[in-house]
Amino acid sequence: MRVLMISRPCLVGAYQRKLEEIALFPDVELMVVVPSSWREGGRVMQLERVYTAGYELIVEPIAFNGSFHLYFYPRLGRRLRAFVPQVVHIDEEPYNFASFHAMWLARCAGARALWFSWQNLNRRYPPPFRFFERYNLRLADYAIVGSEGAAEVWREKGYAGRLAVVPQFGVDADLFAPQDGGRDGEGDFVIGYAGRLVPEKGCDLLLEAVAGLGGAWRLVILGAGPERERLAALADRLGIADRVSFKGWLPALELPAFYRALDALVLPSRSRHNWIEQFGRVLVEAMACGVPVVGSDCGEIPHVVGDAGLIFPEDDSGALHGQLQRLMHDPGLRAALARRGRERVLSRFTQAHIAAQTVEVYRALTSPVSRL
């Protein structure tokens, strides 16, 4: 079966590993359309060509680069007509114009089409996005959502078609793997955070939690965002600036080395009226590297972590402090969580696992029964 995937996120080289895994299935001929770059949060992400074996990675120009809701691929129609796909996989939220445009083209071409969503809050969008959403809910042949919370939202919004819960991407368990021998346990206890520096991610809470820790510890904050200066000032006021280091974004393929240098990774997200944590990819990346994780109970975090990490009530810096104290002083607990985290990723979140579930959706779409 010929599958055309339209995927802005697959600019990222590490994400392309899923595409190679999909292409390994002998009944799949895969073409993936991506832009050459994407503007987001003051930075420009350029296309990385890392895992490109077995499928065609096609660069198409986009209009309104950087506008999440309005961008689209003006020449997508001619690409569909040339490739003649049986399945069009729209790797984008159903309320965006890119999804509406691709869905309309797929229907015109007689292809089966599906969209992907992380949206786990029932939000009401203004026109014209409400129209795009309704169109895609009515005409999609399948939907893939990243979590059970997202599945509930789209059922509430009226989507009545077939649906699968499959995270958008897994991790490459060979790339994201523990270092030989693990951390030696010598030196400072190293705590890490990776992600956007915005209020909902709770880095201020993390700084407050570590401020009272005894013993030798360091905190490494990886990422960028509008909270950077405020967080640095808070670390100074708390008297811990000499133990906290801020680092900018790292290319995805350099993240394993960052995780392996940690004794714990923390994701202290907090809910907002328009956002709750949709997955927490950094959790599974760290777990794959054998790093114990600590997360708040915001959104999907407890479901991702399961029994392979520690959870604390969101916005409770005292509870986070207590969980970090436990990890610092209990090497047996750290070892158990490291083992369970790696096992959980291997059983649920590898790129190969996600690819296999995705191909099952393609097969369901193209089977003779599905066309009755």
Q: What is the pLDDT along the chain (372 residues), one digit of tens a residue?
A: 999 999 999 999 989 999 999 999 999 999 999 999 999 877 899 999 999 999 999 999 999 999 999 999 999 999 999 999 999 999 999 999 999 999 999 999 999 999 999 999 999 999 999 999 999 999 999 999 999 999 999 999 999 999 999 999 999 999 999 987 665 556 899 999 999 999 999 999 999 999 989 899 999 999 999 999 999 999 999 999 999 999 998 888 899 999 999 999 999 999 998 899 999 999 999 999 999 999 999 999 999 999 999 999 999 999 999 999 999 999 999 999 999 999 999 999 999 999 999 999 999 999 876 554
Residue 307's CB: how many other CB atoms inside 10 A? 10
Rounded to an integer, what distance in angstroms lies between the CA atom of residue 98 and that of residue 250?
A: 28
Taking every pair of Cα atoms in the chain, the longest distance, rounded to a whole number of angstroms, is 68
Give one DSSP letter per residue of 80-116, joined into a string.
Answer: HHHH--SEEEE-S-TTSHHHHHHHHHHHHHT-EEEEE
Distance CA 29, CA 9 (A): 20
In the numeric block, which tokens belong to residue 292?
Answer: 């114990």
* CA gap 324, 326 in Å, rounded: 5
Closest CA to 115 of 152, 158, 168, 63: 168
Q: Which pTM value belongs to this model?
A: 0.87
First and final C-alpha spacing in the chain: 18
Handedness of CA 98, 104, 106, 109 (dihedral sign): negative
Q: In the structure encoding, which two tokens stand for residue 85, read together?
A: 């796909």
Which residues are 57's β-sheet partners?
Answer: 32
For the chain, list the domains and their CATH numbers. 2-170+350-371 (3.40.50.2000), 189-348 (3.40.50.2000)
